[in-house]
Amino acid sequence: MADKIVLKAERYKNYNMDELTLKLSEAASRAEAGTVAGASGALACAMALRLANGLLSGDPENERYKYLVKNIDSLRTYMSVLMDQDIRCRAPMVKAIRENRPVEELDACLHPASEITEEIVGMMNVLLDFLIEMSGKLAFSDISVIQASLESAMAAVRISGAWINYLSDLSTEETFKFVMRREYEITYGEITEKYNKITETVGSYGR
């Protein structure tokens, strides 16, 4: 199955899953935690899109289901864009660290790097809204699909949180450090509430 799964990323857009994971394993790979978060987010969106497509196939004229399919698919492709941007914005940061550039230059590089990762978290927050909407409309056979989407989304969020903490540790700007971590904490709290709500709904199936 590995040769049938393709995730887009800079230089890796034509790679299958086996090739992408091999590239990630290289010591000098440009891909990092942000790339992994984006890939996990893309998988979460793919499984959510599968649910939306299933709903639409059962009611082809339902405008809301069409909306879900369109917007979840947009999130899926956006994850590939964010993976690409994450790699690009990291290059100046790595250079600044390697060349021991002034702290002001490093701090300037950290801002875009953190923003990309925060965007991944924000998009997973949106995805969970869609999962909440669909969670009460699914068949028992869909449980494993929504669980896969939900857990992949949470993995993307938690990986992003670890990366955000790493970036904040590199910064010398106390305000930036506080804001970056605090924004993640707030969004993570919202996401956790949604995660619990979906888990409760899905857990009621078959009772």
Q: Is pLDDT of 172 > 60?
A: yes
Mean pLDDT, the chain, integer: 86
How far is the first Cα of the chain from the last one, in angstroms, to the nearest whole number? 34
For 115-154, what is each residue's pLDDT tens digit?
889 999 999 999 999 999 999 898 888 999 999 999 999 9
For residues 65, 69, 75, 79, the Cα torsion angle rounded to the nearest 10 degrees is: 150
Q: What is the pLDDT of residue 8?
A: 44
Residue range 143-168, pLDDT digits in tens: 999 999 999 999 999 999 998 898 88
